[in-house]
Structure 1
Amino acid sequence: MSNQAAQAQPEATTDNLLTMSNVEVVYDKVFLAIKGVSLQVGKGDMVALLGANGAGKSTTLKTISGLLAPERGAVTRGTVEFQGRNILPLGAPARVALGMVHVLEGRRIFEHLTPEDNLLAAFPSRGSRQRFNELKEQVFTYFPRLKERARTKSGYLSGGEQQMLAIGRALMTEPELIMLDEPSLGLAPLLVQEIFAIIREINQQQKVSVLLVEQNASAALEIVRHAYLIENGHVVMDGKAEVLRQNPDVQEFYLGGAGKVDYHNVKHYRRRKRWLA
């Protein structure tokens, strides 16, 4: 893939739900975290943002969801549009109201509340009790374990169950776009497969668009249609998932060793610059 193809900015179309164009983010007015990042997510699409730790993946999601300010980050260049609307002037709650939700890394559930109360906390205050019950049952259909433990304090749930709860809580906002930051973190491989299969089921049944941030490139590329590879704040490659799976550099540095990433090699992959040539 040519450098031009890898870094070409997405063209806005009527089918694009989210368009991020040439965005730069600075922390503390000093540190440039992402540098000209462009990506797009279509309606009903599943897209992955891949890369090593510290590459800029989480910052990209926080730029979209409006969570930069608490970490003293700011967009200094570029645009972010959702449903054709510039959302950079909007705060995080207003972006949720528009139809996007961000599941943060590390799950971040309310451990002192039950799963049912966690779901209630995420449900919009303007909604009816009937609608809450409908959405709650929908979540329990996707994640039956949560129904079994609906009245247990969430801090006593397993790591996998807490991740299920974090995703279920996001669904209570009835989003059009759900952004997931490292949902496989700290989970056993079989549980990762289960959760990713449910994410794909939600996408197919609810037509919810998914932007998935992952270090586990092997698992992510199994369920998404398109993927972007980010390194040192730059998008260095993007394309269809099956194309990236066949790329020799992606195979060596992100899919080698049964899906385990050799981060020492990742830091030095650009010496060959095959995908930038």
Structure 2
Amino acid sequence: MNALTLNNIEVIYDHVFLAIKGVSIEVPQGGMVALLGANGAGKSTTLKAVSGLLKSERGQVTRGDVKFMGQDIAKLAPQDRVKIGIAQVLEGRRVFEHLTPDENLIAASAVHGGKADMERNRDRVYSYFPRLHQRRTAKSGYLSGGEQQMLAIARALMTQPKLLMLDEPSLGLAPVIVAEIFEIIRRINRDEGMSILLVEQNAIAALDVVSHGYLIENGRVVMHEKAEVMKNNPDIREAYLGGAEGRDFKEIKHYRRRKRWLA
């Protein structure tokens, strides 16, 4: 069974702008999948169609099916989607800066169980993020960017999700920190069998940890392949993996316009 199935969904903002145009995506139960694409391609909108956060931005799914563990979730409120096991880590971290990491985690734990469950879950989360445990009494606003991203992921884990969706976790971080965070994400997937949908512009980092990838452009999925196949695809390398050595700018622009996967 797939943890997540999007079947031909369309998303419209303000009853006018068609942002997502027939997107279909599958995330296997216990699998790890990347959704790649440039800025404005529709990646974040796709995640919000799953988490239910479109309404606050005057967006809505107007066509297609959104299913989680075989259940149609189109009519569920965002908080109910969290309760059944869907968690989204929003782009830009958005931690509670006036609270400590410990308090951030406690605030996210209200979804499930009592105090004993919270403490056990918090210990589990800190085992993935020992750096956060060291800084657990500091104000979160004073954490580094990488530590805040770790906290955002840790806070999502406190809801005990079955599907974890990460929106640009590498954004604005140094490569060494990106590598550390992606290795933690890989461990979470491996150790807990948690399904993960990873949205990234950093295709190099994403394709190193996932099994499959989808490429979205202008609201449409234009490629779906195994990660290794995507990494070796010359068009993907040219447009997303920095494979333009030795070519002048005009040639690169022309190449990007004619991307063969759109032919």
TM-score bracket, normalised by the shorter chain, equals over 0.9
Pick closer, same or farther for the CA change 1:245–1:275 going to 2, 3 Å.
same
Distance 2:251 2:143 in 1: 36
Aligned to 2:177: 191
Amino acid at match of 2:39: N
TM-score (norm 1): 0.90
Q: How many pairs does the alignment contain?
A: 259
Aligned to 2:224: 238
Select which of 189, 214, 219 maps to 1:228: 214
Q: Does the CA-based 8 Å contact 1:253-1:265 persist in structure 2?
A: no
Aligned to 1:217: 203
Distance 1:265 1:48 in 2: 29
Task: Please list every run of 5 or more consecutive structure 1 residues that lacks an aligned counterpart in the other structure.
Answer: 1-14, 259-263
Instruction: Give me the CA root mean square deviation.
Output: 1.8
SS at match of 2:75: coil
Aligned to 1:127: 113
SS at match of 1:256: coil
Distance 1:164 1:38 in 2: 29
Amino acid at match of 2:197: L
In the TM superposition, residue 189 of structure 1 has moved relative to its aligned partner by: 0.3
Q: Does 1:106 pair with 2:106? A: no
Tell me whether 127-136 or 171-180 shows the greater mean CA deviation: 127-136
SS at match of 2:110: coil
In the TM superposition, residue 257 of structure 1 has moved relative to its aligned partner by: 5.5
1:79-228 matches, within 5 Å, as 79-228=65-214
Amino acid at match of 2:203: A
Distance 2:179 2:145 in 1: 14
Distance 1:84 1:234 in 2: 23
Taking only the aligned residue pairs, the percentage that are identical comes to 65
TM-score (norm 2): 0.95
Distance 2:210 2:256 in 1: 25
Aligned to 1:36: 22
In the TM superposition, residue 138 of structure 1 has moved relative to its aligned partner by: 1.0
In the TM superposition, residue 125 of structure 1 has moved relative to its aligned partner by: 5.0
Task: Please list every run of 5 or more consecutive structure 2 residues that lacks an aligned counterpart in the other structure.
Answer: 245-249
Amino acid at match of 1:63: A
Q: Does the CA-based 8 Å contact 1:52-1:266 persist in structure 2?
A: no
